[in-house]
Structure 1
Amino acid sequence: MSEPMSRRAALALLGAGSLALPAIAQNQTGYPARQILLIVPYPAGGAVDLAARLVAEKLRVEFGQPVVVENRPGANGMVGAAAVARAEPDGYTLLMAPREVFGINPILMPQQALDGKRDFAHVGVVATGPYVLVVNPALGVTSFAEFVALAKQRELPYASFGKGSMAHLNIEALARRLGVKMVHVPYRGAPPAVTAVATGEVALTISTPPAAISLMQDGKLKALAVGNARRLRDMSEVPTMTELGLSDDPLIPNFFGLVAPAGTPAPIVERLNAAAARAIMAPDIATRLAASGLDPAPGSPQDMARLVNGDIERFGRLIRELDIKVTD
């Protein structure tokens, strides 16, 4: 399974013919002929909300129709996701959500009766965001190697964003890869988890780069590794997991994907995919995404489907092995 295509490959794809898709699809379907609703299953103000609003701006111009972003939080994203899954498959109700909603939450919360493969037509990945492994400086480690040595001596407490969150699963995957055990301490979201490390309540967590940088500059966090194909521009001193010898990088980045209800006609999905790709590759949008630690990552609907299927297999196996259950 491969992650979304590179910027260069995406530009090549756009130049190779996808620019012709919108006119063809619109002639076939008359789409879009009215307002489009783009649901974000989290409160306003977060990274996924930002990505959705940036894409909506460009779609509104290209389509010549209103594209309204509506926040419907609840059940860790499942309330908004379920609303889209139940909507008419006509391309007028869409969802922008991170990978947890499609490949992790349905396994953790089967009572929600939502299936990441069955219930959505995957339009495409919009952006990816790497995670950085951060520790409290008082831990006394200055490198990843020193961290591993310490983790082999004693079980370190780590903060997650909640049971079954990307932090929980990624750090457990890292611990297994290193052959160590760590103590899980769940918090209600990413900000309190990162704060808990900065204040010394726990030893480590993973963080998005923007959330970590200011705390690093204040000497409250130490970054040891980044889960990314390359070093980050604003953290050039922090090595990647691959550089550290972990070619099967256990710090899986997040992605934000755009989907429609299952059964949405292929020409509409293609129209949306091409328009979203152009939106996120626009220089102004790419710059604003980068400011939030996100990289534009356009790809085909098939690319996104492969990612979701891989998540269901990979994270599903880890969830079962760890016997993680979320009941509320």
Structure 2
Amino acid sequence: MFTFPSRLRFAVAACGGAAMLLASAGALAQAAPYPARPISLVVPFGPGSVTDLLARIAAKGLADSLGQPVVVQNKPGAGGNIGAAAVADAAPDGYTLLLGPTSTNAVNPSLYKDLKFQPLRDFAPITNVATVANVLVVNPQVPAKTVGELISLLPGRQYSYASTGNGGSMHLSGELFKSLTNTQMLHVPYKGGGAALADLLPGRVEAMFCNVPLCLSHIESGKLRALAVTSAQRSALLPQVPTMAEAGLPGYEVNGWFGLFAPAKVDPAIVEKLNAEVQKILNQPEVKQQLLALGAEPAGGSVRDFTQFVQAEHDKWAKVIKDAGISLE
């Protein structure tokens, strides 16, 4: 028969055992394989944008390989800064990711004075998903069939080039061109590619560093003349068009890139896991075809390589923007 003290000891022991069981259950819950619930993939631009379309390809691939839904969330505004800031402020648990293009993660820190996030500090780079090249095109009225011929024309008269807006890849492609060639061209920003083409095709502006898919049909029809692509390698969509380096401008490279990022301080094991899954996805033939249909090419690469790449892109565009005196509020 139990005495009171022995009953008390039994109760204490029982409580202690229950606590140990609860602690073990909590540890097991924390050790559950990632991911254990749906993932949000934030796109800092609206539906139908290139960033959005690439995100949906990546989201489907990740959902299939990880066994959890990957939900694309569009958070546009302020040149992509609203969506990027939302991810920078999210919990670093791997359940909120960003598909960040060149603008939000390399260019905007040098363009905007009061940015609410700093990409190099607030994000953990995972991998580069895809790249999209621009192509330097001129109206056929321009008597230049090569980049060298265009450069020789620039000191003689004022040529203009169109873009889809201040601070975008088309604008900065032109500014880098001017910087490396020590020439001048008048930048004419438009609100979108359609408006820019409406003035380029009849010759009201002479040139454009155009996104390849946007201008492809006009190049093929002869309404625009392609002089060079801005990427380091020739575009699969325009294999006959040389790169800027091949056209006589070494050191010129502009790729619109779209990378996967997590909030800073996320578990490095999660970053490596996501990196490995994306590499598998990008090697799938059907994914390569989907990207090519958008005018994009699969990128990939290690976490370390992508981290160094983002730093280099940040530094490159900071210099171009400073030298050109570009600033946005």
TM-score, with structure 1 as normaliser: 0.87
Matched, 1:45 2:43: no
SS in 1 for 2:141: helix
Matched, 1:89 2:118: no
Report the counterpart of residue 80 of structure 1 in structure 2.
83
Partners of 1:82 and 1:55 lie apart in 2 by 21
Report the counterpart of residue 265 of structure 1 in structure 2.
267
Report the counterpart of residue 283 of structure 1 in structure 2.
285
Report the counterpart of residue 114 of structure 1 in structure 2.
117
CA offsets per residue over residues 116-165 of structure 1, 9 Å max, x none?
Answer: 10010111100111111011112232222221221121221111222222
Calculate percent identity across the aligned residue pairs.
40
Among 129, 132, 157, the alignment partner of 1:129 is 132
Matched, 1:230 2:236: no
Residues 284-303 of structure 1 correspond to what in structure 2 (within 5 A)?
284-303=286-305
Structure 2 residue ranges without an equivalent (≥5): 1-29
Partners of 2:197 and 2:96 lie apart in 1 by 34
Task: Report the CA distance shift for 1:193/1:303 in structure 2 as closer, same or farther (over 3 A).
Answer: farther
Q: Is the 8 A contact 1:28 1:267 kept in 2?
A: no
Q: Which residue identity lines up with residue 283 of structure 2 in the other structure?
A: M
Q: Which moved more, 1:220-229 or 1:91-100?
A: 220-229
Matched, 1:176 2:165: no
Report the counterpart of residue 255 of structure 1 in structure 2.
257
Q: Is the 8 A contact 2:133 2:235 kept in 1?
A: no
Q: Which residue identity lines up with residue 282 of structure 1 in the other structure?
A: Q
Task: Report the CA distance shift for 1:232/1:313 in structure 2 as closer, same or farther (over 3 A).
Answer: closer
SS in 1 for 2:58: helix
Partners of 2:177 and 2:32 lie apart in 1 by 47
Shift of 1:189: 3.1
SS in 2 for 1:110: coil
SS in 1 for 2:46: coil
Q: Which portions of structure 1, spanning 4 or more consecutive aligned residues, are displaced by more than 4 angstroms?
A: none
CA offsets per residue over residues 210-255 of structure 1, 9 Å max, x none?
Answer: 2111112333211111123333333233111121222212x41111
SS in 2 for 1:139: coil
CA offsets per residue over residues 151-203 of structure 1, 9 Å max, x none?
Answer: 12122111122222212222111112122111111112344334432232211
Q: Is the 8 A contact 1:106 1:113 kept in 2?
A: no
Q: Which residue identity lines up with residue 307 of structure 1 in the other structure?
A: F
Among 191, 197, 200, the alignment partner of 1:197 is 200
Task: Report the CA distance shift for 1:110/1:308 in structure 2 as closer, same or farther (over 3 A).
Answer: farther
Q: Which residue identity lines up with residue 177 of structure 1 in the other structure?
A: L
Shift of 1:299: 1.0
Structure 1 residue ranges without an equivalent (≥5): 1-26
Q: Is the 8 A contact 2:160 2:205 kept in 1?
A: yes
Among 64, 67, 78, the alignment partner of 1:64 is 67
CA offsets per residue over residues 12-35 of structure 1, 9 Å max, x none?
Answer: xxxxxxxxxxxxxxx966210000
Q: Which has the larger radius of gyration?
A: 2
Task: Report the CA distance shift for 1:176/1:32 in structure 2 as closer, same or farther (over 3 A).
Answer: same
Report the counterpart of residue 5 of structure 1 in structure 2.
none
Task: Report the CA distance shift for 1:72/1:156 in structure 2 as closer, same or farther (over 3 A).
Answer: same
Specify which structure has the bigger relative contact order, considering alpha-carbon pairs within 8 angstroms and separated by 6 or more residues: 1
SS in 1 for 2:129: strand
Q: Is the 8 A contact 1:42 1:71 kept in 2?
A: yes
Report the counterpart of residue 217 of structure 2 in structure 1.
214
Task: Report the CA distance shift for 1:77/1:244 in structure 2 as closer, same or farther (over 3 A).
Answer: same
Q: Is the 8 A contact 1:29 1:268 kept in 2?
A: no
